[in-house]
Amino acid sequence: MLKIHVIDAAHGDCILLYFDHSKILIDCGPKSFKARRGVLANIEKILGGNSVIDIAIVTHNDDDHIGGFEFLLDTPIKINTIIFNSLQDIPDIIKSSQKQISYNQDNILRQKLLEERGIQIQCLTRNSTPLIFRDIKLIAITPTVETLERMLKDADAKKEREEKKKKPKQISSSITEEIKPANALQKIQSDQDVFTKDTSITNKSSIGLVVEYRGFSGLFLGDAHAEDVIEGLKIAGFGNHQFDVVKISHHGSERNTNIELLKLLGKTEYILCADNETHHKHPNNTTLARILSLDKNQTLHLSSNNPSLSAKIDDFKSLGFSINETYPTNGVNTLCYEYK
């Protein structure tokens, strides 16, 4: 049996895939003390006496995904392999002589991995050969090499701004005012739902991953862009594939999940890593409305039992949706999937 532990990482992502013989960690939440304390305690509790993570995956360089890794490395937990498209390694990936630049957290993590711990980093892009470990197959559908090249140039531009003491651009998407559930549904039903794409190059660089093992297939999207996921799925042969579960992109932001992607995914369960607490108020009502407009009996697995999040789910239930939602107990929402 595969156990997927969705760990409450506040507004961030942290998912531990617990196979019979292997452990794979996808992201490690933010660096803030309160969030990381709970995340690390729960990872150690789940692993028990066998404190080994076979593969750890850093989907991309945003604090709510990468921040906790620096502190995870200071615990007794042993990590055998890390998949991380570090800015320091992108010149090798794209065969560029461009000087190596890094965002701060990217640089700190890479130094801990290579210089202090000697842990080897593996890179994974859509262009990579799928990684097979003990019959577990990891297939990256995002990012492309071209996206990583763009991110490297963005890092250069950011360094120039900082040197000129100019305020750097925000990495995450712009904030838009959230509309009510009924209004979001009405827009979709009247074909007036306008999808505005995420513009963050950091989010676009996310490792979007298909995980396959003994009949199970799951899709874990980090903060990937919808159009890239659609393209990547089709290229990898998943254009008409039914996943057991999908970790929705960017905490349910309205800029990362559109109707076209949801129709391509078809009938599945969704994991939402969000707590509805930050100023973004993720998951967004528009994203929830898009999901529910295609399946009124949707199963949603949530990373937080924050009252404001459950109230948001209840608002949709009051509109006639029969949502099957699960919440964490003591900070962990455990999903179980029998091998086929």
Q: pLDDT tens, 163-204? A: 555 544 444 444 557 899 999 999 999 999 999 999 999 999
What is the CA 178 to chain-centroid distance, rounded? Answer: 22
Mean pLDDT throughout 276-292?
92
CB 64 within 8 Å of CB 34: no
Amino acid identity at 56: A
The alpha-carbon radius of gyration of the chain (Å, integer) is: 19
Average pLDDT, the chain: 91
Higher pLDDT, 153 or 82: 82
Q: Is 204 helix (H, G, I), strand (E, B) or coil?
A: helix
Longest CA–CA span in the chain (Å) reads: 57
Residues 6+ positions from 134 with CB-CB distance below 8 Å: 19, 21, 22, 54
Residue 95 reports pLDDT greater than 80: no
CB 326 within 8 Å of CB 295: no
CATH number at residue 270: 3.60.15.10
Model confidence at 99, in pLDDT bands (50, 70, 90)? low
Mean pLDDT throughout 2-24?
97
Give me 237's structure tokens: 């042969």
In the prediction, which pLDDT does 102 show?
A: 67
In the prediction, which pLDDT does 14 show?
A: 98
Residue 101 reports pLDDT greater than 80: no
Closest by CA to 252, choosing from 318, 150, 201, 184, is 184
Domain tally, the chain: 1
The domain of 131 spans 2-337
Residue 235 reports pLDDT greater than 60: yes
Residue 282 reports pLDDT greater than 60: yes
In the prediction, which pLDDT does 174 show?
A: 47
Closest by CA to 86, choosing from 117, 53, 54, 125, is 125
pTM of the model: 0.93
Model confidence at 100, in pLDDT bands (50, 70, 90)? low
In the prediction, which pLDDT does 173 show?
A: 45
Measured from the Cβ of residue 312, the count of other Cβ atoms closer than 10 Å reads 20
Closest by CA to 327, choosing from 2, 8, 1, is 8
Model confidence at 161, in pLDDT bands (50, 70, 90)? low
